[in-house]
Structure 1
Amino acid sequence: MSQAPIIEELNDPLISNAISIWEKGVFKERDGSMSDAIKYYREALKMYDQVEKVYKKKLHTEWLLYQKLEKLNLNEDDKMNSTGDSTNNEDEDESLLPCWIFEMLPNDILLRIVSHVVRLSGESWVNLSLSCTRFNDLCFHNSVPYKTFKDVIYPKQVYDDVLQTLNGENSIKNLEQILWDKNYELMIKQRPYIKFEGVYISVVNYLRYGSNVDGSSSLRNPVHMITYYRYYRFYEDGKVLRLLTTDEPTFVVKYFTRENHIKSSHLCSWKLYFDGETNYVTISRSNDKYAFEEKLIIRNQGHKRFQRLKWMESTVEDKEGNVSNCSLKNEKPFFFSRVISYAHEVAANPITTK
């Protein structure tokens, strides 16, 4: 495919400007803001009606260039390997030599290092396992790291002890012993938990049909794309910051702390219920007139463990004890997004095990 036509098209100021606006729409669509995305798409199409076609050509051309660059890099690497002298080969051989310090250390000492890294974060645990074969074996083929991770995440969970007792579960410790005993790897795979190193975000898009103005001759009613976001940020002390807004994550996440007192946010309480089969987290808040309660089930997102919160129910109770169910027709699941600044806050106060 010749690159000349697409380059000529992009040199046209009108087409180039239309492409820029179209790309803004693409970014908005990725963020879940469909109404803004549609606005940019329409603006770009009004400017140049073939903008989508040119945009696809641009992406294809960029992909072809990337492929060619990859081939060039591979060819250069082959030349370097074939023309390397004996000195370079010796350097390579030396770089492949094992680290004698680690070879000299017993597994007990290395497992202490692994445990310390696991307490920092799950991400650090994975990164350490990728450093060498021996650390990989110690990280994922030994029970110590799993036990350490278990001792870090589960004491931070706030369980609904009253409900557990009513349902015949004397304590979460007994349940842990019955279901998994000392199989900590299986426990981490099956026992749900709330994450604190980021924020749970739900993006809701739905269509709302309007009505024509008086005297309009149009046979079609206008359609509005409604987009809003729900945010949950959980804290280890049993509090959760809740926010319903039309603001995108770019403008919210950075400042989403309970210290900032964000407008329209609520500081709620949360509790986790788990009986071995059923699990859900309850988020509750109240005011002078009503008590609000939201229940969400903790689910996996593909291979990512306990990354998703799925709606179970949302209720409102008045002072007389009358309970009403809120409609969940348009609601979408929450997905966890790790935030580096949040993770640093959590890592600054690690739980040490005895």
Structure 2
Amino acid sequence: MAASERADLPGDSEDLVRFREQWKAEVRKKKLGLSSVDSGPSASVTNAVAVDGSKGTGQPLRTEGSPQAPATRDTTYVSTSVANSSGSTPYSVALTRAVEVYRRAVLAEQQSNLDEALGLYRTAFRMDSNVDRAYHKIEAQFHSVPVQPQTLRKTDKHAVDEIAQAIKALDLHSSFVPAGQNNGAAITGTLANLLAEWPRSLSFAPEDEKEAVPLQKIPYELLLHVLRSLDTTTLERFAKVSRKARVVTLDVSIWRAHVQATYKPPQIEDEEELDVLVHQYVGDHRRLFIEHPRVRMDGVYIAVCHYIRNGLSENTWVNVSHLITYHRYLRFYPNGQVLSLLANEEMPPQQVIPMLKPTLRMKGLYIGTWRLSGAIVYITSLLDPSPPSHSGTRYAFQMTLELKSRPVGRWNRLEFRAYDSVNIESGEATPLVLKHERPFWFSKVRSYIQSSG
């Protein structure tokens, strides 16, 4: 398009006219199937005209027979700069600044800073009404530029350095936290970052400065002896009292005792696996106790199941439906024994839980064995403990459940994965259809705490 042709387009800005010329040149090149760009003196003239774009020069762009490509084909954009490899600017200074403002607006929108993004968008369009077209054109050209191998290696190295710095900032390695005069604990994760900002010398402070603090006078060894006798829930409640209480409860002897008492067969495959777990959690026994799967034995897992049964009615115009509710109970013992009870709605949990023991004899009760592998609980050899003469055909049952954590607690949910009936004589397992089954939810029972320890 010559300068005379551009004059016939009133109201169009010079940048818009230049975009149209470049677009037409690209279309012509695609039609001709040209794959190279001439680097002779004529190309410099063409680029100068394309960059300048001023009216009255009378110098046209290359025609259809020209082997040249528009100047934008030779442009390489680095970061947020709008510059080509020769150092010249492909667009006017005003448009370049407008594109930079538009780019900042896009970044603000991606970061959900909508108010800031809206203000930057308005500013960019006031600077140039065609800023959006220029921005998208620049981005398309930037992503189409092939990356040289050396540049790629530098980019990868920079990305690796950033990832390494981010991992280092997370402080995933052990951080020694003093928890007394001669005792300490290996603390990892976000808690280590929090404790690193606390002062080294901490003490119990009263709510009222005029009052005394008897806890401050207790020897540290005696305080640890008291804390070792607490269960983990009570221990964490005490830790919320103050910073000093939090640091004291992190003593390695407290959590090591809980870990050793909990993670042993059938919670783990063998006792040697405990050393592997401690090494895996970098000696942080508290974090191991919280994050590693374990079957809880300080309560009972309960599944509340419902189904609807059609009833009988003397009135043909009335349909009667009964909502049937029943409960499944699972109680685990440290010696590998498990109790499974199926009870109807006539016996509520308040009545069943106190008498759910191995000595219980009632319909729907089965006693078997359990083991934990990863997060999968395998329950096998579920048998009716009543005498064979009263139980009829002898069948055993087995369950496969998955242990999960939900926001209300740790490892407090058991989901069915399989439920089979096993013929004792033949050993054949028959899957049972689970129509109305629901997941088990853990419910803590105070009277179970002592027996589970």
TM value normalised by structure 1: 0.58
The one of the two structures with greater contact order (alpha-carbon pairs below 8 A, sep at least 6) is 1
Whole-angstrom distance in 2 between the partners of 1:160 and 1:132: 35
* From 340, 347, 364, the counterpart of 1:242: 340
- Cross-structure match for 1:335: 441
Paired residues for 1:73-152 under 5 Å:
92-95=208-211, 97=213, 99-102=215-218, 105-106=219-220, 110-114=223-227, 116-117=228-229, 120-140=230-250, 142-152=251-261
Does the 8 A contact of 2:278 with 2:288 survive in 1?
no
Quote the sequence identity (%).
Answer: 22
Paired residues for 1:132-211 under 5 Å:
132-140=242-250, 142-155=251-264, 157-159=265-267, 161=269, 172-173=273-274, 175-177=276-278, 179-210=280-311
Amino acid at match of 1:326: L
Q: 1:285 to 1:184 in 2, by over 3 A?
A: same
Gaps of 5+ in 1: 1-90, 165-169
How many correspondences in the alignment?
Answer: 236
Paired residues for 1:1-354 under 5 Å:
92-95=208-211, 97=213, 99-102=215-218, 105-106=219-220, 110-114=223-227, 116-117=228-229, 120-140=230-250, 142-155=251-264, 157-159=265-267, 161=269, 172-173=273-274, 175-177=276-278, 179-210=280-311, 217-218=316-317, 221-246=319-344, 247-274=347-374, 278-286=375-383, 289-318=394-423, 319-346=425-452, 350=453
Amino acid at match of 2:366: H
Does the 8 A contact of 1:210 with 1:222 survive in 2?
yes
Amino acid at match of 1:222: V
Q: 1:262 to 1:126 in 2, by over 3 A?
A: farther
Whole-angstrom distance in 2 between the partners of 1:257 and 1:309: 20
Query: C-alpha offsets along residues 146-193 of structure 1, whole Å, 9 cap, x if unaligned?
Result: 3232122113x41574xx9xxxxx953364256334232332233111
Whole-angstrom distance in 2 between the partners of 1:207 and 1:307: 28
Q: 1:295 to 1:223 in 2, by over 3 A?
A: same
User: In structure 2, the residue corresponding to 1:93 is in which secondary structure?
Assistant: coil
Does the 8 A contact of 2:267 with 2:372 survive in 1?
yes
Q: Is the deviation greater in 264-273 or in 307-316?
A: 264-273
Amino acid at match of 2:281: W
Q: Which has the higher helix share?
A: 1
Does the 8 A contact of 1:159 with 1:271 survive in 2?
yes
Deviation at 1:232, TM superposition (A): 1.3
Whole-angstrom distance in 2 between the partners of 1:149 and 1:92: 35
Over aligned residue pairs, what C-alpha RMSD do you find? 3.0
Q: 1:121 to 1:136 in 2, by over 3 A?
A: same
Gaps of 5+ in 2: 1-206, 385-392
Query: C-alpha offsets along residues 102-156 of structure 1, whole Å, 9 cap, x if unaligned?
Result: 4xx45x6644443x23xx412221233244431222214x54433232122113x
Deviation at 1:331, TM superposition (A): 0.6
Does the 8 A contact of 1:256 with 1:262 survive in 2?
no
Does the 8 A contact of 2:278 with 2:284 survive in 1?
no
Whole-angstrom distance in 2 between the partners of 1:279 and 1:197: 19
Whole-angstrom distance in 2 between the partners of 1:237 and 1:124: 25
Whole-angstrom distance in 2 between the partners of 1:186 and 1:154: 13
Does the 8 A contact of 1:192 with 1:279 survive in 2?
no
Whole-angstrom distance in 2 between the partners of 1:97 and 1:113: 17
Deviation at 1:283, TM superposition (A): 4.1
Does the 8 A contact of 1:281 with 1:298 survive in 2?
no
Does the 8 A contact of 1:205 with 1:228 survive in 2?
yes
Does the 8 A contact of 2:368 with 2:379 survive in 1?
no
Give every structure 1 segment of 4 or more consecutive aligned residues whose post-TM-superposition deviation is greater than 6 Å: none
Does the 8 A contact of 2:412 with 2:441 survive in 1?
yes
Q: 1:208 to 1:178 in 2, by over 3 A?
A: farther
User: In structure 2, the residue corresponding to 1:126 is in which secondary structure?
Assistant: helix
